[in-house]
Amino acid sequence: MRLSLDILSVDRSSDEPMHRQIYDALRRFILDGQIAPHTLLPSTRSLAEDLRVGRNTVIAAYDQLLAEGFIEARTGSGTWVAPIKQARTNTPRTKPGCGARRLSTRGETIVNGPQPPRNAGVINFHPGVPETASFPFSIWSSMLARNSRSRDESLLVFLSYAGHLGLRATISSYISVSRGIDCTPEQVIVVTGAQAALDLVSRVLMDEGDHVWMEEPGYRGAKSAFLAAGANLAPLKVSRRGWNLSDPNLPPPRLIYVTPSCQWPFGTIMRIEERLELLDIAERHSAWIIEDDFDGEYRYRGRPVPALRGLDNANHVVYIGSFGKTLLPALRVGYLIVPPELVEAFDKAVSITGQFAPLLLQATINDFIKQGYFATHLKRMRRLYARRQANFVQLCREHLGEWVTVTENDSGMQLLASFKRPLNDLDVVAAAVKEGLDVQAVSIDYHSTEPEHGLLLGYTSMDERQILRAVLALRAAFMRLDRQ
């Protein structure tokens, strides 16, 4: 069978090169079946004459088709269309969207688990969002620019999946002073944020079905990571007064997740007695303690409370820290402190999960810390947040006293607002959204027990005017609810 030429033409006014036009047309005809398999194509010379194009143009088109297997050249006998079977799938499905079922069972678990609460764009009362207005953007930006111009191999090539060697050393010094943790630079594993750290530990340190003691109420992001890894969650009950470590219903744990510096959502500090008890429990069960130190740097009266990891001479604690709340959330750089014997395992695991942070950012954070800007920024933020908290508590008493009790806290970036009368916090969230306000319900932090209702209010990212506006909007939301 010989190709009828009239279906082929070129458009000389098109931006598309002519060889590309010929390639595209032939490819389409072959895929559609308009040119059947085993058809003999005209020679490049004859097609070039017919189309009035240069012979090289046709050769370029044929070469591309040849490379992709659309046509075959048989020595001495010309160029033929390859024996291509039409794909059954080559036409669009009539019912799109039927693929949702095609997630794996694990995929379904991951997707349907509790989500780390998402910031709706309007920051408002979203907890854990740092002030960015006074971040030293110009210093940061010039450090970044310098590093990004650098052809230094240590910024271009991964020497270690566990992180930039300089940053790891700097973190190990920093963490010794600020958090009372003694570790070598090697024990520091840098990853793409605290969430990645949680995901990583839950994959490397536990198996599907293992018991994980999870604070109840507790941080959803952690819960999601453990559930995604197949954990069997056991509620470790927490109140404003502390951790119920002697609960007889708790099964022998494989992992124990805690936020000892500033419990999420209550803001409680774990007492030394509880800390020592927890280390004993880990020892008895050969369990790992995952210490999520998400707000550890923010203590407004006195000094930050030393990390649990600092008391842990027997290497039961894996510590998780992050720069998301001390620098900028969108940086996505966090770190783990792991026992020496796990360093190699985590380095390997990171090489497979791809949770390693860009070297450029790691190196720049390193410069930022080493040149003292980090300490200065943190000190300023501590003072600023302390003032903002005092002002915020005052405003809540003035304008929201009818509905909620908000108590000061020495630590953290958010305060718990308890309801004075029975209200469903999800109703409050819905009413707040109508006032253009993003607030977080406390009940979402409960997994398996009857939730307390309330709001977790982040106050750190707003200046005085913004916070007043937000408080008044929340007041309007409560009043809206009252009218219903």
Residues of span 342-381 touching a copy of itself by CB under 8 A: 342, 344-345, 348-349, 351-361
Q: Does 41 bind a copy of itself (CB under 8 A)?
A: no
Map the footprint of a copy of itself across residues 157-196, applying CB under 8 A: 157-159, 161, 191-196
Between 286 and 394, CB nearer to a copy of itself: 286
Residue with token string 């108590």: 407
Task: Considering only residues 263 through 302, tell me which ones interact with a copy of itself, judged by CB under 8 A.
Answer: 269-274, 276-277, 279-280, 282-283, 286, 288, 301-302
- Confirm or reject binding of residue 15 to a copy of itself (CB under 8 A): no
CA distance 72 to 81: 6
Residue 219 vs 403, nearer CB to a copy of itself: 219
Nearest Cα residue to 294 out of 471, 169, 460, 110 = 460
Interacting residues with a copy of itself between 190 and 249 (CB under 8 A): 191-199, 203-208, 210, 221, 224-225, 228-229
Q: Which of residues 105-134 bind a copy of itself (CB under 8 A)?
A: 105-107, 110-111, 113, 115-116, 118-119, 121, 123, 129, 132-133
CA distance 406 to 392: 9
CA-nearest of 220, 217, 159, 231 to 190 is: 159
Q: Which is nearer to a copy of itself, 276 or 426 (CB)?
A: 276
For position 251 contacting a copy of itself by CB under 8 A, the verdict is: no
Between CA 411 and CA 360 the distance in angstroms is 32
Contacts of 197 (CB under 8 A, 6+ apart): 189, 191, 320, 322, 334, 335, 336
Sign of CA dihedral 164, 170, 173, 179: negative
Q: Residue 11 or 450: which CB sits closer to a copy of itself? A: 11
User: CA angle at residue 483 from 414 to 265, to 5 degrees?
Assistant: 15
- CB of 214 closer than 8 Å to CB of 192: no
Query: What is the smallest separation between the CB atom of 51 and a copy of itself, expressed in angstroms?
Result: 19
Please report whether residue 405 would count as binding a copy of itself according to CB under 8 A. Answer: no
What residues between 310 and 329 interact with a copy of itself by CB under 8 A?
311-316, 328-329
Q: How far is the CB of 94 from a copy of itself (least distance, A)?
A: 10
Q: Which of residues 407-436 bind a copy of itself (CB under 8 A)?
A: 410
Decide: residue 391, CB within 10 A, 0-12 exposed, 13-18 middle, 19+ buried. middle
Tell me whether residue 323 or residue 403 sits nearer to a copy of itself (CB atom).
Answer: 323
Distance CA 47, CA 416 (A): 78
Residues in the chain: 484
∠ CA 304-180-334, nearest 5°, is 80
Judged by CB under 8 A, the number of residues near a copy of itself is: 138
Reading the block at residue 446, the tokens are: 């409960």
Query: What's the CA gap between 358 and 350, in Å, rounded?
Result: 13
> Which range in 98-106, 369-377, 382-390, 472-480 contacts a copy of itself by CB under 8 A?
98-106
Rounded to a whole number, what is the distance in angstroms from the first to the last CA of the chain?
79
Q: Residue 333 and residue 170: Cα distance in Å, rounded?
A: 14
98 interacts with a copy of itself by CB under 8 A: yes
Residue from 100, 241, 246, 483 touching a copy of itself (CB under 8 A): that is: 100
Residue (13 or 90) nearer to a copy of itself, CB: 90
Residue 230 CB, shortest distance to a copy of itself, in Å, is 9
Shortest distance (Å) from residue 403 CB to a copy of itself: 28
